[in-house]
Amino acid sequence: MSCVNMEDRAKECILQAATRFNITLKDKQFDAIKAFLSGRDVFVSLPTGYGKSLIYALLPIVFDLFKEQRGSIVICISPLVCLMMDQKAKFAPQGIITEFLGEEQTDASCIRSVKNGEVQLVYMSPESIICNFQYRNMLLSPVYQEKLVAFVVDEAHCVKKWGDSFRIAYSQLGDIRSFLPPSVNVMALTATATNATYKSVCQRLSLHDPVLVGHSPNRDNIMYEVRPITDLSSFCGLIADELKQLGLEYPKTIIFLQSYGDCALMYQTLKLKLGPCITFPPNYPILQQFAVIGMYTRASKTEMKEKTLASFCETHGKLRIVLATTAFGMGVDCRDVRVIYHWRAPSDLEQYAQETGRAGRDNLPSRAILLYGNPGRHVEEKVKKYASNRSVCRREYLMKQFLCSDQVEPTRDLSTCCDVCRDSVTKNNY
């Protein structure tokens, strides 16, 4: 078959798979699948809310159609079990069957189905595939040598961010390439990647001349602000006063903190300030279905995470504020979050862009507010410059750090771009 005919057939298979699931693909989603189907490694850097997970979720069906076979398998490496479970629940209504393997998977029949090649989209943690010999050797089984079509690493920035520290398995994922059939390529996906992260991830995953499918992480509907951090009691007092006044009209808000201890302390302070208004209606029992504030951290039990996520993502849910660590920063799809606070500076701008990207996924006006003061030693210099800057557009400074920064167009309305631009407009009006 000629190259032209092969390309036409690839397009036809992609569109046929999308139609089967009643999905209209965006240009970059289509480009990523097409490049991967051509036999190339692919690096995908697309903004939060773009639909990166749909790219690899369609791969099993696309390959079934393209190779005229049944049962094509995709393995996706994901950092958090709660993220895997969220994706599983998200794809189930579309008829895309997924399962996850790891320490928290205790269903023997599920594990057996995956090992037998009966599940087409399999989620695993890096530790599961690197440290668990039965799962790693599963790749060498006849069914996986025949049916495996893609090895995917989601949230690929974690390869650089965590691979040298507390999750060493991330730095060893490139070794898995030797277990894969020669025809199987690798796809890495992230919402944010600096040039340094791109080079590091490509090297550590042993990507061979990858096709870059990217778009700037810029989101015009998010306004960026930096405010001096106050004491905890004063901050919680202001939040509580607004929450009492607005009730369920209070905009959905995520407050990112650096540890479970910080979350717990802020929760107790807000609880004290809110009094009976910690539930809606006020004075109701402090149960999940009535709570207006909640916590989402790695220390939270899985069941509690699921309930918190479901309540927060519900359009008319009562939960208005989630206190979160980085565990809430990846893959969580709550479309109508209006405000993101960071209580103290994150360690790097990639993390900041990832977490502020939780806001306004419905494209309505939203705000990202950094509460800044006395940054610790772990905070990178670029974050300090971003926060202390009073003359350069914050959006421009932030987006210049990432791939495809040349795609960022100036925001037309400076009053909703960032606090620096807003203040310059106000100053010029006087």
Count Cβ neighbours within 10 Å for each residue of 52-64 and write b for 16 or more, e otherwise: bbbbbbbbbbbbb
Specify the pLDDT at position 376: 79
Looking at per-residue pLDDT, the higher value among 425 and 211 belongs to 211
Indicate the number of domains in the chain: 2
Residues 196 and 166 in one domain: yes
Is residue 184 over pLDDT 60? yes
**Residue 397 forms part of a structural domain:** no
Query: Is residue 417 assigned to a domain?
Result: no
Identify the residue whose tokens are 């809310």.
49
Q: Which residues contact 392 (CB under 8 A, 6 or more apart)?
A: 420
CATH code assigned at 335: 3.40.50.300
Residues 158 and 112 in one domain: yes
Same domain, 236 and 198: no
Q: 80 exposed, middle or buried (CB, 10 Å; 0-12, 13-18, 19+)?
A: buried
pTM of the model: 0.85
Are 121 and 97 in contact, with CB atoms under 8 Å apart?
A: yes
Structural domain range at position 207: 3-214
Mean pLDDT is lowest, of 8-12, 81-85, 377-381, 391-395, for 81-85
**Position with higher pLDDT, 109 vs 165:** 109
Query: What pLDDT score was predicted for residue 192?
Result: 86
Quote the pLDDT of residue 329: 58
Give phi and psi for 210, each to the nearest 5: -70, 150
Residue 327 lies in a domain: yes
The answer to which of 52-61, 69-78, 221-230, 328-337 has the lowest mean pLDDT is 328-337
Shared-domain flag, residues 195 and 240: no
**pLDDT at residue 162, rounded to an integer:** 76
For 393-405, how does the pLDDT look when each residue is reduced to its tens digit (9 = 90+)?
Answer: 999 999 999 998 7
> pLDDT (tens digit, 9 = 90+) per residue, 247-266?
999 999 999 999 999 999 99
Position 413 scores a pLDDT of 86
Q: Do 113 and 226 sit in the same domain of this protein?
A: no
Residue 86 placed within a domain: yes
Q: Are residues 140 and 249 in the same domain?
A: no
The angle formed by the CA atoms of residues 224, 230 and 234, to the nearest 5 degrees, is 115
Q: Are residues 177 and 254 in the same domain?
A: no
pLDDT tens, residue by residue, 188-235: 999 889 888 999 999 999 999 999 999 988 989 999 999 999 999 999
Q: Are residues 270 and 357 both part of a single domain?
A: yes
Q: Are 210 and 287 members of one domain? A: no
Please check the confidence at residue 327 and state whether its pLDDT lies above 80: no
Same domain, 187 and 312: no
Q: Cα(399)–Cα(304) distance, rounded to whole angstroms?
A: 35
The whole-angstrom separation of Cα 186 and Cα 149 is: 9
Same domain, 239 and 201: no
